Each structure stands twice: as C-alpha cells, then as structure tokens.
C-alpha cells in the first residue's frame, strides 16, 4: 500500500516504532506535540522535545536495514548495483548485498571492498544460472525471513525490473519502481509521464521494495570497504523455467549505459549502413553508440541501442544527438546528460531546446568533418 496517510504503531517500544513509522512521520508527531506544549507557553519544553526528536530520528534511522540484490555475471558486478548501494546508504542503517549465482566468488570479493556494504550474503546453486526471477525469488524471500530487512532494492535494469515486482508480490507489498531520489526511509521520488512530472511516493508497507535508477545515484566507491561475507542456504530449484542460452551482441565500444560519451543517431541517418558515420565518430572519442526508437524500428540498428523511455536511460558527460528530432520519449532517456550536442538540419527541431550546443547542418556533411577533425 502506498499512501499519504500513516498509521500509529500498536506498540510503542523504540524498536516497534522504527518498524512501523518513518522517522519523518515520527518527527511530525513529536513536533505537533511540541507545538501544543508551546501554546500552553512552555517554550523550553518544546525545544527539548524537538532536540529529543532529532536524536530519536537518528536513533531510528540506525534501525533501517537494506538488502541490495546484486546484479552480476558471476565474474563482475554490473555498475548499476553500485548506484543501488549508494541509494541504500541514503536510507541509513546496515546495507547487505545478496550475491546469488553459480560460481560467484569473484563478485563476492569485489563487493566486499565496496564502500558502504556491511555484509555480503552468498547463495550458490546451479538453478541461479541466468538469474531467472522464478529461481531467485525464493532465496530472496528466505533471506528476508531470516534477516527482516526494512528495505529490499536492486537497480532498475532488466534484471531488477524482472525480479523485484515478483518479490514484492510474494511479500504482498506494492513495489516502487525506478526511484530517482530518497527523501526519507519511506518517501521516494520517481518520474512519471516520460519524465515530465515527478511523483513523490510515501510507502506504508512493512518492507519497502524498490528499484533504483542508475543515473540518479553516483556509484558507490569500489574500494575502501571491508564487508564480511556469509553463506545463505539455497533451497532446491523451483524448476518452472529453464535457462537455455543468451546471445549478446559483441562490441569493442563502451557499454551504452555506463559510457562517458554517447553518440546517438535517429531516423535522419536514413539507413543502417549510414550508422557507420557514427561508429567512426564514436571511435575517435571512445564513445558508445545509441539510437532513437525510430532508427531501431526502421531496422537500422538492434534494439539494445535504443535510448529513451522504452530503451536505456543514459546520463553521460557528453551526448551527441545526430538526426534526432527530440521527442519527449527520447528526451526521457538522455536529458540528464551533462552536455548535450545536437546536429539537425531543421532549426526548429525540439532537440535544440534541451541542447547546450546545436549545429544546424546536414549530418552527412557535418559528421565526417567532425570525425576528420578529431582524428588529426
């Protein structure tokens, strides 16, 4: 259940309060009490009550405990997990990470050094091959049963989006997807209407289950931590689905979601062959290449290159949009880029409204010229 109302705890020990009321809600409660006392003229008591509340807020925050479900390929951690760890640390309290895989010792070692991780929980089983949600959900539920986390989160990647709604359903709580800010342990901000509005969601669930937008939280430092690791018993395979294989497109270019520079092409490129112009330009800057949905739908490039509302969300240092008009669904995936450059022959193209530098030109002339200049 997500709502703007809150419930008074049934029991009033400090521990029960921390489980049932957020720190802000509790602060409001005491502030209201303080203002009542003030009306009676006891100002001193009010100050004392507020100070006590602040102390209590810090005290209660220490009772938060978050499980971050790590995304990895048994060899390396996926960068979005580091962003989820940063988000988890904003909640206060202990942060544990669950590494479920087939042979994941390297990932456990990598995670143990990440700053802000207190404990790494390890579950190894053949059934975890391919990270199928049907197989991972029971181990997350068993871990939750054992440790009683107040929050469970993962990155808002295909992995997290596939897994956490299932976990939430099994826990009978409403998940919150793709958060971009944490205001307090029970209040989260997420985008709606393709990023045109922000929604602040207050969650009254006993366990908050959410996914984290990678571009909204800096990755946690990969050195400096010293987490302990602990095995958690993995149950037998559920067996309702089976992982067969994955065929990933191979590329020497940086991965789109984590690249510092992205060059994206749209329908203006006119064909898949013409994307070679962008590959050449990208090579001079060690950039990843993305695309608009129109370019993907036209079959110019595969859909794992799509940037936007229904594609990947990127926020590189530099985003170069070539032959892209700037539809809101495309902007939803790249408008948080630090510097945006647009090349378009139409001076009225909406992409120029969000770009820091715009070049009104024919891309077939401008892009080769840029590539040649950068190669010098």
Ligand X SMILES: Cc1cc2nc3c(=O)[nH]c(=O)nc-3n(C[C@H](O)[C@H](O)[C@H](O)COP(=O)(O)OP(=O)(O)OC[C@H]3O[C@@H](n4cnc5c(N)ncnc54)[C@H](O)[C@@H]3O)c2cc1C
Q: How far is the CB of 87 from ligand X (least distance, A)?
A: 23
Strand partners, 266: none
Any known ligand binding at 292?
Answer: yes
Distance CA(249)–CA(254), nearest Å, equals: 13
Q: How far is the CB of 176 from ligand X (least distance, A)?
A: 21
Strand partners, 340: 319
The verdict on 161 binding ligand X (CB under 6 A) reads no
CB closer to ligand X out of 66 and 306: 306
Strands 208-212 and 197-202: unpaired
The verdict on 362 binding ligand X (CB under 6 A) reads yes
Q: How many residues bind ligand X (CB under 6 A)?
A: 28
Contact of 99 with 122, CB cutoff 8 Å: yes
The verdict on 213 binding ligand X (CB under 6 A) reads no
Q: How far is the CB of 352 from ligand X (least distance, A)?
A: 10
CB closer to ligand X out of 144 and 344: 344
Candidate list 64, 89, 144, 292; residue touching ligand X; CB under 6 A: 292
- Phi, psi of 356, deg, nearest 5: -80, -35
Q: How far is the CB of 358 from ligand X (least distance, A)?
A: 11
Give alpha helix (H) positions in 172-271: none
Give alpha helix (H) positions in 172-244: none
Any known ligand binding at 192?
Answer: no
Distance CA(234)–CA(121), nearest Å, equals: 11
Which one of 114-122, 151-159, 236-244, 360-368 is the stretch in contact with ligand X (CB under 6 A)?
A: 360-368
Q: The tokens of 12 are what? A: 């009033």
Angle in degrees, CA 372, 336, 364, rounded to 5: 25
Distance CA(86)–CA(115), nearest Å, equals: 9
DSSP state of 213: -
Q: How far is the CB of 207 from ligand X (least distance, A)?
A: 31
Q: Among 108, 308, 77, 313, which residue's Cα sits nearest to residue 217? A: 313
Candidate list 349, 352, 355, 371; residue touching ligand X; CB under 6 A: 349
Any known ligand binding at 125?
Answer: no
The residue number with the shortest CB distance to ligand X is: 308
Strand partners, 97: 68, 120
In the range 163-202, which residues lie near ligand X by CB under 6 A? none
Any known ligand binding at 258?
Answer: no
Any known ligand binding at 308?
Answer: yes
Any known ligand binding at 144?
Answer: no
Distance CA(354)–CA(351), nearest Å, equals: 6
Any known ligand binding at 166?
Answer: no
Candidate list 333, 336, 337, 342; residue touching ligand X; CB under 6 A: 333
CB closer to ligand X out of 57 and 327: 327
Beta-strand ranges (E) seen in the chain are 65-69, 94-101, 119-124, 151-155, 176-184, 187-192, 197-202, 208-212, 228-231, 261-265, 288-291, 318-322, 339-344, 357-360
Query: C-alpha distances in angstroms, 83 versus 166, 195, 285, 353?
Result: 21, 19, 25, 29
CB closer to ligand X out of 346 and 369: 346
Instruction: Report helix, strand and coil shares of the chain as percent, to nearest 5.
Output: 40, 25, 40
CB closer to ligand X out of 233 and 372: 372
Q: How far is the CB of 275 from ligand X (least distance, A)?
A: 12
Q: How far is the CB of 368 from ligand X (least distance, A)?
A: 12
Residue window 293-332: x/- pattern of binding to ligand X, with contact defined by CB under 6 A: xxx----------xxxxxx-----------xxx-x-xx--
Q: How far is the CB of 151 from ligand X (least distance, A)?
A: 29
Candidate list 92, 268, 316, 358; residue touching ligand X; CB under 6 A: 268
Distance CA(26)–CA(36), nearest Å, equals: 16
Residues at the binding site are 267, 292-293, 306-310, 323-330, 344
Task: Summarize as ranges the residues that interact with ligand X (CB under 6 A).
Answer: 266-268, 292-295, 306-311, 323-325, 327, 329-330, 333, 343-346, 349, 362-364
Residues at the binding site for FAD are 267, 292-293, 306-310, 323-330, 344
């Amino acid at each position: 259940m997500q709502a703007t109302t809150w419930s008074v705890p049934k029991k009033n020990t400090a521990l029960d309060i921390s489980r049932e009321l957020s720190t802000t809600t509790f602060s409001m409660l005491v502030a209201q009490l303080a203002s009542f006392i003030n009306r009676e003229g006891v100002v001193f008591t009010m100050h004392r009550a507020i100070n006590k509340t602040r102390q209590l807020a810090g005290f209660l925050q220490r009772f938060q405990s978050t499980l971050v479900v790590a995304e990895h390929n048994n060899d390396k951690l996926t960068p979005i997990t580091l962003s989820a760890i940063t988000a988890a640390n904003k909640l206060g309290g202990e942060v544990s990470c669950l590494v479920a895989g087939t042979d994941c010792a390297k990932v456990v070692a990598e995670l143990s050094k990440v700053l802000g991780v207190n404990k790494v929980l390890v579950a190894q089983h053949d059934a975890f091959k391919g990270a199928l949600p049907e197989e991972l959900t029971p181990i997350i539920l068993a871990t939750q049963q054992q440790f009683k986390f107040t929050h469970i989160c993962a990155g808002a990647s295909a992995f997290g989006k596939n897994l956490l709604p299932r976990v939430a359903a099994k826990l009978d709580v409403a998940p919150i997807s793709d958060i971009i800010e944490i205001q307090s342990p029970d209040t989260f901000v997420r985008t709606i209407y393709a990023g045109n509005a922000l929604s602040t969601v207050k969650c009254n669930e006993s366990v908050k289950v959410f996914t984290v937008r990678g571009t909204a939280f800096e990755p946690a430092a990969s050195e400096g931590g010293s987490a302990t690791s602990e095995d958690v018993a993995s149950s037998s395979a559920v067996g309702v689905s089976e992982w067969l294989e994955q065929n990933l497109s191979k590329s020497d270019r940086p991965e789109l979601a984590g690249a510092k520079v992205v060059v994206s092409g749209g329908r203006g490129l006119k064909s898949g062959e013409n994307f070679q112009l962008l590959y050449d330009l990208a090579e001079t800057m060690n950039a990843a290449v993305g695309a608009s949905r129109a370019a993907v739908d036209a079959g110019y490039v595969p859909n794992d290159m799509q940037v936007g509302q229904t594609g990947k969300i990127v926020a590189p240092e530099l985003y170069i949009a070539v032959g892209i008009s700037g539809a809101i669904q495309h902007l939803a995936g790249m408008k948080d880029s630090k510097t945006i450059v647009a090349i378009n022959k139409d001076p009225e193209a909406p992409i120029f409204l969000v770009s820091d530098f715009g070049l009104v030109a024919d891309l077939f002339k401008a892009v080769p010229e840029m590539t040649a200049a950068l190669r010098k």
